[in-house]
């Protein structure tokens, strides 16, 4: 698809905004609709669009398979790790209240971190799966 | 209604590419339906996932397989009977269900009142779905994330390695090991 | 008539579920089976979300101007179920791709035939 100039320029314009929108959805999930699951998918969609327009090889340079694979587990670890921290502060597993000065701010911090973990895992998984499907037929 | 029409179209079509595209349309209509039912978060997810990512993945899988479905030779009478019996039983079951939008339905009482009234005070964020998702039901969500993680790892294991040459006559045997 | 209107949502769900089940059972093509499973899945999502609808309610984002909200709990369950659904769908597609590489076909009866020949 390298010779489609319209597509290339439109994609170049769109991708930063898609990513920005993904981050907005990620961190605005407390106030409006959104959250880690949606943000992860939107972010992955930006990378997939890049891969579709500029070719898989370039996309692999942007998001190296090794790093993507590591991020899949990093998200789960972040989630589980945020759950462990309150245990050291005398609360139950995944009870975020002691993370902040007040109960509300503690819950807020906990939810933000947990959603971020969800977002990382979802985005990395989707990108990794897409790379596998797209790269499958061309290795020969 | 549109959903049912799209579903029938998917059933009848034999071109797999059209089927995959229609399933994207189907997801988008489902997302619109979720908005009408006040589930904005769910609609958001369905639109991004169903209409976006899963269509792309299916097209990717199609490019690795083939485009057309074989026309079935025999008339599938038995499946039709099974499906009709199941549907009739389910419709019979719905006669006891609460009315649509009933605020006193068992699913809409008890715990839910507490979430709606207390969560803005306890958690301090307005989106109740997010606070239930990440805080009250954190364990659930952790489990879901682990499922996604496992699915991702499984896909990497299944088709992540180097491509093995297809051998039409001898599939089993020592050469089945990869690479 | 009011009874029909109050239960129409369940019946739509049942019809969608029947379509999905029929595709899964009667079609031999593996990709079409996965699409059928997706339809089945969406019908279950719709069932949950329509259970969560409260007449006169609004989306569950707290604000002083509203008092009646839709039930947030099914939304949470379905939200995660959708994303898990796409992860499992991709796993199914990966299996189909592997089957295609091993057998050269994605039609169920041809796979059976090849197995019988051995």
- Both B108 and B153 in one domain: the answer is yes
Predicted pLDDT of residue A91: 67
Q: pLDDT at residue B172 above 50?
A: no
Measuring CA to CA, which residue among B120, B107, B128, B38 is closest to residue C59? B38
- Both B121 and B155 in one domain: the answer is yes
- Whether C87 sits inside 8 A of A125 (CB atoms) is yes
pLDDT tier at B73 (50, 70, 90 boundaries)? low
Please report the number of interchain residue pairs, chain A to chain B, with beta-carbon separation below 8 angstroms. 138
Tens of pLDDT, residue by residue over B115-151, are 666 666 666 666 777 777 666 777 777 888 888 888 8
Please list the residues that pair with C107 across neighbouring strands. C29
Number of domains in chain B: 2
Find the residue in B nearest to C64 (Cα): B126
Non-local (6+) Cβ contacts of B95 within 8 A are C7
More confident call, B5 vs A75: A75
Q: Is residue B8 part of a domain?
A: yes
Print the domain residue range for B151. Answer: 95-164
| Averaged pLDDT, B91-114 | 68
- The token duo for A4 is 């489609």
Q: Is residue B101 part of a domain?
A: yes
Q: Is residue B33 part of a domain?
A: yes
| Averaged pLDDT, B31-40 | 77
More confident call, B3 vs A136: A136
Q: Is residue B124 part of a domain?
A: yes
Q: pLDDT at residue C10 above 60?
A: yes
Q: pLDDT at residue B164 above 60?
A: no
- Both B148 and B114 in one domain: the answer is yes
Write down the pTM of the prediction: 0.77
Whether the complex's predicted ipTM surpasses the cut of 0.85: no
Non-local (6+) Cβ contacts of C73 within 8 A are B107, B111, B112, B115, B132, C52
Predicted pLDDT of residue B171: 43
- DSSP 8-state secondary structure symbol assigned to residue A55: -
Q: Is residue B179 part of a domain?
A: no
Find the residue in A nearest to C94 (Cα): A133
Q: Which domains are seen in chain C, by residue range?
A: 2-61+69-117 (1.10.287.3510)
Q: Is A33 in the C-facing interface, judged by CB distances under 8 Å? A: yes
Tell me which chain C residues have a C-beta less than 8 angstroms from the C-beta of A122.
Answer: 83
Tens of pLDDT, residue by residue over A101-131, are 676 777 777 777 888 888 888 888 888 888 8
Q: Is residue B77 part of a domain?
A: no
- The token duo for A121 is 């895992």
Please report the number of interchain residue pairs, chain B to chain C, with beta-carbon separation below 8 angstroms. 276
Print the domain residue range for A43. Answer: 5-136
Q: pLDDT at residue A21 above 60?
A: yes
Q: Please identify, among B37, B71, B105, the residue that sits at the C-terminal boundary of a domain.
A: B71
Q: Please identify, among B36, B71, B106, the residue that sits at the C-terminal boundary of a domain.
A: B71
Q: pLDDT at residue B169 above 50?
A: no
Predicted pLDDT of residue B177: 43
**Most distant pair of Cα atoms in chain B: their distance:** 67
Find the residue in C nearest to B52 (Cα): C86
pLDDT tier at C33 (50, 70, 90 boundaries)? confident
Predicted pLDDT of residue B148: 84
Q: Is residue B84 part of a domain?
A: no
Top residue of C83, C86, C87 to mutate, by most chain A CBs within 10 Å, is: C83
- Whether A35 sits inside 8 A of B64 (CB atoms) is no
| Averaged pLDDT, B16-22 | 75
Predicted pLDDT of residue C81: 83
| Averaged pLDDT, A68-79 | 82
CB B29 within 8 A of CB C62: no
Q: pLDDT at residue A20 above 80?
A: yes
- Whether C25 sits inside 8 A of B82 (CB atoms) is yes
Q: Is residue B171 part of a domain?
A: no
Burial bucket for residue B130 (CB in 10 Å: 0-12, 13-18, 19+): buried
Q: pLDDT at residue A59 above 80?
A: no
- Whether B146 sits inside 8 A of A76 (CB atoms) is yes
- Whether A37 sits inside 8 A of C59 (CB atoms) is no
CB A34 within 8 A of CB A40: no
Number of domains in chain A: 1
- Whether A136 sits inside 8 A of B163 (CB atoms) is yes
């Amino acid at each position: 698809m390298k010779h489609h100039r319209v597509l290339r320029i439109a994609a170049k314009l769109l991708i930063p905004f898609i990513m920005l929108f993904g981050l907005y959805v990620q961190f605005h999930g407390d106030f409006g609709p959104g959250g880690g699951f949606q943000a992860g998918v939107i972010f992955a969609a930006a990378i997939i669009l890049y891969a579709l327009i500029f070719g898989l090889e370039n996309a692999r340079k942007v998001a190296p398979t090794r790093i993507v694979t590591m991020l899949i587990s990093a998200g789960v670890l972040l989630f589980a790790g945020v759950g462990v921290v309150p245990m050291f502060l005398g609360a139950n597993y995944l009870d975020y209240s002691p993370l902040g000065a007040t109960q509300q701010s503690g819950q807020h911090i906990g939810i933000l971190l947990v959603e971020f973990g969800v977002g990382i895992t979802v985005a990395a998984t989707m990108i990794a799966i897409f790379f596998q499907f797209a790269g499958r037929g061309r290795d020969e | 209604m549109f959903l049912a029409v799209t579903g029938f179209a998917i059933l009848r079509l034999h071109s797999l590419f059209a089927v995959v595209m229609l399933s994207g349309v189907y997801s988008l209509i489902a997302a619109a339906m979720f908005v009408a039912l006040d589930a904005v978060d769910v609609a958001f997810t369905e639109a991004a996932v169903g209409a976006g990512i899963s269509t792309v993945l299916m097209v990717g899988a199609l490019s690795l397989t083939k485009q057309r479905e074989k026309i079935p030779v025999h008339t599938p009478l038995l499946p039709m009977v099974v499906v009709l019996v199941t549907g009739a039983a389910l419709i019979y079951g719905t006669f006891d269900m609460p009315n649509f939008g009933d605020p006193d339905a068992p699913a809409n009482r008890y715990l839910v009142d507490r979430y709606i009234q207390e969560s803005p005070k306890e958690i301090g964020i307005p989106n109740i779905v997010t606070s239930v998702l990440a805080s009250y039901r954190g364990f659930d969500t952790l489990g879901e994330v682990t499922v996604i993680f496992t699915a991702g790892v499984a896909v990497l294991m299944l088709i992540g390695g180097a491509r093995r040459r297809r051998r039409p006559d001898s599939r089993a045997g020592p050469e089945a090991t990869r690479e | 008539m009011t009874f029909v209107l109050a239960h129409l949502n369940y019946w739509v769900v049942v019809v969608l579920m029947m379509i999905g089940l029929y595709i899964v059972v009667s079609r031999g093509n593996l990709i079409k089976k996965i699409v059928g499973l997706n339809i089945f899945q969406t019908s279950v999502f719709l069932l949950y979300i329509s259970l969560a609808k409260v007449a006169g309610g609004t989306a569950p984002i707290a604000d002083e101007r509203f008092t009646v909200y839709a039930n947030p709990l099914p939304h949470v369950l379905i939200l995660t179920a959708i994303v898990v659904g796409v992860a499992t769908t991709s796993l199914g597609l990966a299996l189909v791709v592997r089957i295609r590489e091993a057998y050269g076909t994605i039609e169920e009866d041809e796979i059976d035939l090849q197995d019988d020949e051995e």
